[in-house]
Chain A
Amino acid sequence: MNALFSQQNRAPLAFAVMALLLVAVGMGQSWPYALAILNLCLISAVMSLGVNIQWGYAGLLNLGVMGFTALGGLAAVLVSEAPVLEAWSVGGQGMAVSFVLVAITIILSMLVYRNMEACWQRRLTLAVLYIGAFFTINHFYEPAVKAIESVNPATYGFLGGMGMPIIFSWILGGVMAAGVAWVVGKITLGLRSDYLAIATLGISEIIIAVLKNEDWLARGVKNVAGLDRRPVPFELDLQTAPWFTDMVQSLFSGRLAALADSERADALNQLVIQSSSIFVKLCYTGLFTVVLVAILMLSMKALNSPWGRMMRAIRDNEEAANAMGKNVVRQHLQVFVLGSAVVGIAGAMLVTIDGQFTPTAYQPLRFTFLVWLMVIIGGSGNNLGAVFGGFFIWFMWIEAEPLSIAFMDLVTMGMDQASDLRMHLLKSAPHLRLFIMGLTLLLTMRFMPKGIIPEETRLHSV
Chain B
Amino acid sequence: MPEFVDILNAIVLFSNFVLVPAISYGAQLALGALGITLVYGILRFSNFAHGDMMAFGTMSVILITWGFQSMGISFGPLPTALLALPFGILCAIGLSLMFDKTVYKFYRVKKSAPVIFVIVSTGVMFMTNAIVRFIIGPSDQRFMDGTKFIFRPREFKEFTGLSEGLALKSTQALTLTVAIIAVAALFYFLQKTRTGKAMRAFSDNEDLALLSGINPDRVVFITWIIVAALATTAGTLYGLDKSFKPFTYFMLLLPMFAAAIVGGIGSPIGAVVGGFVIAFSEVIVTYAYKKFFIYLMPESLEPSGLMQFLSTDYKFAVSFIILVVVLLIRPTGIFKGQSI
Contact = CB atoms under 8 A, between A and B. Distances in A.
Interface residues of A, number: 42
Secondary structure at chain A's binding surface: helix, strand, loop or mixed? helix
A431 B133 contact: yes
Interface stretch (A95-103, A192-200, A297-305, A412-420): A192-200
A127 B250 CA distance: 33
Interface in B128-153: 128-131, 133-135, 137-138
Contact of A439 (B46, B127, B138, B258): B127
**Binding site of B, secondary structure by majority: helix, strand, loop or mixed?**
helix
Contacts of A439: 123, 127
Contact of A434 (B118, B127, B305, B317): B127
A188 B324 contact: yes
Interface in A155-194: 187-188, 191, 193-194
A202 B331 CA distance: 17
A428 B317 contact: no
A209 B316 contact: yes
A194 B118 contact: yes
Which of A142, A203, A441 gathers most chain B CB within 10 Å? A441
Interface in A12-28: none
Contact of A437 (B45, B126, B138): B126
Interface of A: 59, 61, 134, 142, 187-188, 191, 193-195, 197-199, 201-203, 205-206, 209, 212-213, 364-365, 369, 372, 376, 427-429, 431-435, 437-439, 441-442, 445-446, 449
Contacts of A212: 313
B301 interface: no
Contacts, number: 123
Given A197-B118, A209-B316, A431-B134, A441 B324 contact: no
A198 B126 CA distance: 17
B257 interface: yes
Nearest to A368: B122
Nearest to B309: A134
A441 B261 CA distance: 27
A163 B124 CA distance: 45
Contact of A431 (B138, B250, B319): B138
B323 A198 contact: yes
Nearest to B99: A442
Nearest to A212: B313
A438 B320 contact: no
Interface of B: 45-46, 48, 103, 106, 113-116, 118-120, 122-131, 133-135, 137-138, 250-251, 253-254, 257-258, 261, 305, 309, 311, 313-314, 316-317, 319-320, 323-324, 327-328, 331
A205 B103 contact: no
A55 to B, nearest CB: 9
A441 B123 contact: yes
Contacts of A188: 324
Contact of B123 (A59, A209, A438): A438
A431 B130 contact: yes
Contacts of A197: 46, 48, 118
Contacts of A202: 254, 258, 316, 319-320, 323-324
A201 B323 CA distance: 12
Given A199-B323, A202-B254, A369-B126, A193 B133 contact: no
B286 to A, nearest CB: 12
A212 B130 CA distance: 26
A206 B261 contact: no
Contact of B324 (A194, A199, A429): A199
B132 to A, nearest CB: 9
Nearest to A437: B126
Contacts of A61: 115, 118-119
Given A435-B131, A441-B126, A206 B317 contact: yes
